Structure 1
Amino acid sequence: MPNVTTSLTASRLTRAVRWTRLLLHIASGLIQSAIYPHVGQRTQRRMAQKWSARLLSILGVRVRHQGILPVAGTQRVMLAANHVSWLDVYSIISVCPARFVAKSEIRGWPLFGWLSNNVGTLFIERTKRRDTARINDHIAEALNNGDCVAIFPEGGTSDGTVLHHFHASLLQPAVSVSAMLHPVAIRYTDMAGNISKAAAYFRISLLESVRQVLSQPHIDVELVFTEAIDSHGKNRRELARSAEHAIASALSLPLPHKPSGKPSDPPDEQP
Structure 2
Amino acid sequence: MVSNHLSYMDVVPLWLAVDGTFIAKSEIKSWPFFGWGTKILGMIFIDRALKRDVQRVNNMIKSTITEDQGIIIFPEGTSTKGETVLPFHPSLLEYPAQHNVPVSYATLTYQSFDPNKPASEYICWWGGMSFLDHFWELLKMPGFKADITFGSKRIVNADRKQLSDQLHQLVKANFQPVEQAGSTKPMKSV
What TM-score range do you get, normalising by the shorter chain? Answer: 0.7 to 0.9
Match of 1:196 among 119, 124, 127: 119
Question: When the two structures are superposed, what TM-score results if normalisation uses the length of structure 1?
Answer: 0.60
Tell me the distance in 1 between the aligned counterparts of 2:39 and 2:114.
37
Query: Structure 1 residue 252: deviation in Å?
Result: 4.8
> 2:98–2:158: 8 Å Cα contact kept in structure 1?
no
Tell me the distance in 2 between the aligned counterparts of 1:242 and 1:200.
25
More helix by share: 1
Matches within 5 A, 1:6-155: 79-144=1-66, 146-155=68-77
Amino acid at match of 1:212: E
What does residue 247 of structure 1 align with? 171
1:139-192 CA-to-partner distances (Å, cap 9, x unmatched) read: 111114742110000010100112111000001111233222111111012359
Tell me the distance in 2 between the aligned counterparts of 1:190 and 1:114.
27
Root-mean-square deviation (Å): 2.0
> 1:84–1:157: 8 Å Cα contact kept in structure 2?
yes
Residue 129 of structure 2 is aligned to residue 182 of structure 1 = no
Percent identity at matched positions? 25
1:216-262 CA-to-partner distances (Å, cap 9, x unmatched) read: 2211110000123332x431111111111111111156xxxxxxxxx
Show structure 1 runs of 4+ deviating over 4 A.
none
Between 215-224 and 139-148, report the one with greater CA deviation: 139-148
Gaps of 5+ in 1: 1-78, 254-271
Amino acid at match of 1:213: L
What does residue 160 of structure 2 align with? 236
Gaps of 5+ in 2: 178-190
What does residue 208 of structure 1 align with? 133
Tell me the distance in 1 between the aligned counterparts of 2:74 and 2:13.
14
Question: When the two structures are superposed, what TM-score results if normalisation uses the length of structure 2?
Answer: 0.83
Q: Which has the larger radius of gyration?
A: 1
> 2:4–2:85: 8 Å Cα contact kept in structure 1?
yes
